[in-house]
Amino acid sequence: MSWSKLTLAVFLLIPASWTRVSRLNSAIDLAGESYAKAEYEQSITNHQVLIDEFGYASPELDYNLGLSNQYAEKVDEAVGYYDKASIAPNKMLASFAFNQGGVLLGNKKEYEPALSKFKSALIQDPNNEVARHNYELLARWLQRDEERKNEDQNKPEPSDFAKRKKAEADRMVEQFRFKDALNLMNEARLQDETVDAYKDFMTSLQEITEIDEK
């Protein structure tokens, strides 16, 4: 699955009554510039300046810090900032934050909590099509995964070759590379008919791939 991500930071709104407006605006521009250049560690530092030196706080700032930490691979920090941004009065921003939190939980294989985040994103903004896509994709996968677990109990024993290929495909699924996993299983099926023991797994991969490519 290719988890869709919102990659644009949001604009920060500064009250006109603030003093040191020129310095503050320069700090905001610097933070936005470092994010746009994919300098995520520097973006974190520059956004933190807005908090430490100017005492600025807002859901938009939390969301930007969530994005910067996410792409700097600081997952726990990113989750915390998205959680803070998810209580924003701005329903669209809150929805974005819930969706991004769901993406991170999905990447950590915490599928049920991720599904809950995507659902919350849709509650905040029913028009968030990225969150809707993620929710439907994950919900369908979890349903089929449960069905597979029940059906696999009656499957014939696959060969060692088939088991190895299934293990490779599972690793791809963990990375949400569903199309690659499907191609791997189809190729293996041409070499060993016992790969059909995983026919339901392959059917689910096909369904997920079709959804993902819409």
Question: In this predicted model, what pLDDT tens digit does every residue of 169-205 receive, in sequence order?
Answer: 999 998 889 999 999 999 999 999 888 888 888 888 9
CA atoms within 13 A on the CB side of 39: 11
Dist. CA 172–CA 59, nearest whole Å: 35
End-to-end alpha-carbon separation of the chain, Å?
12
Q: What is the mean pLDDT of residues 62-80?
A: 93
Global pTM? 0.62
In this prediction, residue 35 carries a pLDDT of: 83
For the chain, what is the mean pLDDT? 85
Q: What is the mean pLDDT of residues 76-93?
A: 94
Query: Which are the contacts of 189, defined by CB distance < 8 A and separation ≥ 6?
Result: 195, 196, 202
Residue 2 pLDDT > 50, yes or no? no
Residue 8 pLDDT > 60, yes or no? no
Dist. CA 45–CA 53, nearest whole Å: 12
Confidence of residue 154 (pLDDT cuts 50, 70, 90): low
Select from 149, 182, 184 the least CA-distant residue to 1. 182
Select from 23, 20, 29 the least CA-distant residue to 47. 29
Indicate the domain borders of the chain: 32-151, 153-213
Confidence of residue 91 (pLDDT cuts 50, 70, 90): very high
CA atoms within 13 A on the CB side of 75: 8
Select from 107, 102, 109 the least CA-distant residue to 128. 102
Question: In this predicted model, what pLDDT tens digit does every residue of 103-129 receive, in sequence order?
Answer: 999 999 899 999 999 999 999 999 999
Question: In this predicted model, what pLDDT tens digit does every residue of 18-54 receive, in sequence order?
Answer: 456 777 778 787 887 888 888 889 989 988 888 888 8
